[in-house]
Structure 1
Amino acid sequence: MHGHGKQGGFEMLKLTIKPGEFINIGNDIRVVYSGGTDGNIHLLIDAPRELNIVRSKVLSRKKDSSENNYPHSAPSYYAEPKLSQETVSKIRHLIKEDKNTKKNNTQD
């Protein structure tokens, strides 16, 4: 932990983490820092479907365009369901076949 910061009059916990590290919020939310580029960070968020996770930029746009229906007008984003082991195996097999086909075509 790195200390606390003020944001909008509220005390906030300030953390420093490296790519690949994560923080847990309660028992069912995990935020993973996966790296970043100039001026951007990449976060992976694993949270229950009933939590609406929206970027601040999207919220401010929606709030400006539909003041009466805010925050219900903000879009919801949900994690994709996990693939079955059978599907993962099929995908791996297809990728392997594709690599072999490309390898054979370059040798001709």
Structure 2
Amino acid sequence: MAAKLSQKWIDLFNATRKRFQNEIADIPIANKAYRLRVLDRMATNAEKMKNYGMTSQLIEQAAKEMGDAYTNKHKFEHSGPNGGAIQTITMSKEEYKSARQEMMEDDDC
């Protein structure tokens, strides 16, 4: 898609992105390590006060932070049985049609 954009728009995008990254670097809470340090400090204090419910919530929040629960990133693992390769089969169009028909007629599907 970028190949279709004029250089003017590419330069604007790059400048805007650089400015955003520089500005966000100045905000401590935007940094994952900072957020985890704060959560750790809070959890330690909550545990010292024997506030185990709050401690549990803070630990859960830290786990979510580590698992990117607060981002739009998705992690997918694609593998076959026992982590091996996914089995693939090459077949002709006729073989595919026959296998598909067999599956459609099968009561288990």
Name the TM-score, length of structure 1 as normaliser: 0.22
Q: Which has the larger Rg?
A: 2
Name the TM-score, length of structure 2 as normaliser: 0.22
